[in-house]
Each structure stands twice: as C-alpha cells, then as structure tokens.
Amino acid sequence: MIELKNISKSFEDKKVLDNFSAVFDEGGYLLKGPSGIGKTTCILLILGLLKPDEGELNIPDNMRFAVCFQENRLFEKETALTNILAVNENVSNEAATQAICELLPEDSVNKKAGEMSGGMKRRLAVIRAMLHDSDAVILDEPFTGLDDASRDKTISFIRKYLNGRLLIITSHDERGLDDLKVISID
C-alpha cells in the first residue's frame, strides 16, 4: 500500500500540491487532473525522486516499481529488443520479441529506437515498463501520441501484462480506463 498524507510541494513560488492525500492499495488507479496540477509531481514523490515540502509518504521499503515516464527515456541508438532487455534481465529474447510484436510491427524488433515514430517509441516505453519485474507499475501519460487504435491496443497490452500488480496511470483521456479507481488532483 502507498499512502500520501497531507502532501504539499512547491517549485519556487508555485505550489503544485497542497495538502494532497491519497491511498493506492491494490488494483488500478487513474490519477487525473488538468495539466500542471501535480500528477507527475505526485508520481516523482512516490518514486522518491522528489521530497515533499510537507506531509508524509508511506511506501514499503522493499516495493519495486516499473515506470514509464512522460519522456520515453529510450536508448535511441539501440534496437527495440535491446531497449527491452537492457532493463529487464529476467526476460528472454523470445518473450521480449513476442511482447514487441504485440504492440509494434514485427520489423520493429531490430529497429533502432531513434528511427521510430513518436507513437512507436511511446509503445516501446510501455512494453519495457510492463515487462519489468515489479510490485507496482506507474505509467505517466502512456497514451501520448497514440491514435485511437494504438491506444486501445496499448490498454489491452497493459491489462494482459499487469499480473495483479498495483497500477497507477496518469492520463488526460479516460476512455477505456473506466475500471480504474479515480483519484483527482484539484
């Protein structure tokens, strides 16, 4: 279980989160709110990449996260397969290849990330996160740059590979995510 209690966070003179509380226990969550409201800041706090100005974070010490950040953070000069295997040491070539072919054209397996379109890179980043051995999966705006068909396919892929882990998604678009518990940041 992840608990945020009365969290406040500011950057210079702008308060991004103000006395925000939430509990992520099991299942899937959609963290929503307008742009700039603090969704990504909340994610970075959960991951320990930022510290709150006020409030309390309760996260199990041994919790392992798989993350797809807003930026794809891919190895641009490496192939899709190498991008998956580089951060997923327990995934076989065959399993990685199969996963890639579920979301990307088959010839993408040996295509360099830098040669892919923005939508292909986004799906590759999601594949990499979903294959990672973790207790929780955090996907920050995973559908950016995807058309409706790719988005629907990506949602199905996420569900297939979730395997009972805690899921936190930030997204401006709620279509297809109505089974997730909604936590709003206002």
Mean pLDDT of 128-142: 95
Distance in angstroms (rounded) separating the CA atoms of residues 30 and 22: 12
Tell me how far CA of residue 36 lies from CA of 10, 16, 39, 141, 152, in angstroms.
Answer: 12, 8, 8, 13, 25
pLDDT band at 178 (very low <50, low <70, confident <90, very high): confident
User: Which two structure tokens, joined as six digits, stand for 162?
Assistant: 């979730």
Mean pLDDT of 13-33: 91
Class of domain 2-184: alpha beta
Q: Give residue 14's pLDDT.
A: 87
Which residues touch 45 (CB under 8 Å, ≥6 apart)?
Answer: 4, 7, 9, 17, 51, 52, 57
Distance in angstroms (rounded) separating the CA atoms of residues 139 and 31: 10
Residue 36 φ then ψ, to 5°: 80, 5
CB atoms within 10 A of CB 123: 29
pLDDT digits (tens, 9 = 90+) for 31-88: 998 787 889 999 999 999 999 999 999 999 999 999 999 888 999 999 999 999 998 8
